[in-house]
A and B are shown apart, each in its own frame.
Chain A
């Protein structure tokens, strides 16, 4: 068998899961969809002694669309969120990004919250949590707390969740009226990890850009948001200096080289993808007058 031996725990409630986590401490890992964890176990890059399998925990499998945010429970599979019409209407960016998460067979099993808790900067959903200024809801032996995206992602594959805390949900705040979004990435094969990916949110009011931001996949250490309002704010979408925005993106990202692409190529790609998605989001914001948001 490929994975090393472990003890399987199957709690039925959040309280029970947290209590097991408190007992097993640093030797435990949470198993939800497992689409990132199980490859790591199969390759024995990790061999936790305990797996806390939350698949039978009740009450954490809902998508809730509120006036302010879309709240996604820890057992919501990527595919469920992708096909959720209410979530799409409230925050089109979710589906725009989710169709790029691996392949349908992976999205049927993997969870959005798990992907965020895994905190891989090559993952799409951490970048989306960052761009929306989202929040992770965590529960542990010391009670429940909320962690803002900016405080959540600490380093590559590292979050501010304590060993004995469970991420029970994330909230993706909805954008202000007049905002439109776009997402694009480039991968060697559709569904593979992106060489570079960019998400953009642009707000247009009275014909001019009032806010422009983007976040990135695979080209930064941790998911981060670049505010481009200083660069293109006050301009009309059709005449904004998107080349300057792309230049700001190239200066912001810090890609690494690997067997598939050099750092320079990824930097160039991030700039070009940013130019495209920012431009597209701005045009959509101008033409739909924000109807895609609220």
Chain B
């Protein structure tokens, strides 16, 4: 049996937002807690902690996953993108406040795609990955795409607008990038 006082720890190294990060944690450390407590990246929010709300969604090797339903040891050697890393995306641009924002972040700011903002990190990571898959969603598709994320302020109208606006911004920036490299 496991003894609480001698709980095994593991050196876990994960590439987070392009930087290799290591911390020594017990096997039961959830990836969400690893990011927040051990790496002090508190942008990833923890809501229900059983996979329903989507607030903790991060990208694992580019794909959205629930960080509350993974252990840090299982993420060993994988590539994680948290909400903090979205501003480093190739299509991120400096905005009015001087910070860099990717198209989803820019669109959520423009369309006020949030009320209290607690759920926003999960929406941003989910939407960023979704637009790679479907660059120009319909309103119905946008709703479907965010169905795994809960906003308890029920601010879905502006969030749906934000998804559609993010698609526009993303397309504009891709065209700009193509123009620059041509």
B-binding segment of A98-106, A130-138, A213-221: A98-106
In whole Å, how far is B33's beta carbon from the nearest beta carbon of chain A? 7
Residues in B with CB closer than 8 Å to A27 are: 1
Supposing A1-B29, A49-B2 touch, asked if A38 and B70 sit within 8 A by C-beta, the answer is yes
Is A15 located at the chain interface by the 8 A CB criterion? no
Contacts of A104 in B (CB 8 A): 64, 130, 145, 148
Tell me if A53 and B50 are in contact (CB < 8 A).
no
A25 interface residue (CB < 8 Å to B)? no
Interface check A142, CB cutoff 8 A: no
Binds B, one of A4-12, A170-178, A265-273: A4-12
Complex CA distance for A41 and B50, rounded to whole angstroms: 9
Residue of A nearest to B126 (CB): A105
Complex contact B148–A1 (CB within 8 A): no
- Interface contact B4-A39, CB-CB below 8 Å: no
B76: min CB distance to chain A, Å: 9
CB of B174 closer than 8 Å to a CB of A = no
The interface residues of chain B lying within 8 Å CB-to-CB of A31 are: 71, 74
Is A35 among interface residues, defined by CB-CB distance under 8 A? yes
Instruction: Find out whether the CB atom of B147 lies under 8 angstroms from the CB atom of A6.
Output: no
Q: For residue B152, which residues in chain A have a CB less than 8 angstroms away from its CB?
A: none
B71 neighbours in A (Cβ, 8 Å)? 8, 31, 34, 38, 53
Task: Please pick, from B50, B54, B63, B73, the residue contacting A103 in the complex, using a CB distance under 8 A.
Answer: B54
The answer for the CA separation of A5 and B6 in the assembled complex, in Å, is 10
Contacts of B130 in A (CB 8 A): 104
Chain A 212-266 interface residues, beta-carbon cutoff 8 Å to B? none
In the complex, A72 has a CB within 8 A of chain B: no
For window 1-48 of B, CB contacts with A under 8 Å fall at 1-2, 4, 7-8, 10, 26-30, 33
Q: Are B66's CB and A109's CB within 8 A? A: yes
CA distance A4 to B49 in the complex (A): 14
| A35–B71 alpha-carbon span in the complex (Å) | 11
A42 at the interface (CB under 8 A from B): yes
Check A39–B33 contact: CB distance below 8 A. Answer: no
Does B69 lie within 8 Å of A35, measured CB to CB? yes
**A43 interfacial contact with B, CB 8 Å:** yes
Which of A43, A53, A105 is close to B66, meaning CB atoms less than 8 Å apart?
A: A105
**Residue A3, interface by CB 8 Å:** yes
Q: Known contacts A6-B27, A105-B66, A190-B144; decide if A35 and B51 are in contact (CB<8 Å).
A: yes
B68 beta carbon closer than 8 Å to chain A: yes
The listed residue (A42, A55, A79, A105) touching B148 by CB distance below 8 A is A105
- Tell me whether B106 is interfacial, beta carbon within 8 Å: no
CA distance A41 to B29 in the complex (A): 12
Inside 8 A of B10's CB, which chain A residues have their CB?
Answer: 8
Contacting residues, chain B, for A106 (C-beta < 8 A): 51, 66, 69, 148
- Chain A: which residue is nearest B29 at the CB level? A1
Across-interface contacts of B70 in A (CB, < 8 A): 34, 38, 109
In angstroms, Cα B49 to Cα A109, docked, is: 16
Q: Is the pair B50, A7 in contact by a Cβ cutoff of 8 Å?
A: no
**A15, B27: Cα distance in complex, Å:** 22
Query: CB distance B8 to A38 under 8 Å?
Result: no
Is B164 interfacial (CB-CB < 8 Å)? no
Q: Is there an interface contact between A8 and B57, defined as CB atoms closer than 8 Å?
A: no
A35 contact set on B, CB distance < 8 A: 51, 66, 69
9 new A-B contacts at CB < 8 Å, known A35-B51, A38-B30, A79-B63: A1-B33, A5-B28, A8-B10, A8-B71, A38-B68, A106-B66, A106-B148, A109-B70, A191-B148
8 A-B contact pairs sorted by A residue (CB < 8 Å): A1-B26, A7-B27, A8-B10, A38-B70, A104-B148, A109-B66, A109-B70, A191-B148
Interface residues of B (CB under 8 A from A): 1-2, 4, 7-8, 10, 26-30, 33, 49-51, 54, 57, 60, 63-66, 68-71, 73-74, 126, 130, 144-145, 147-148
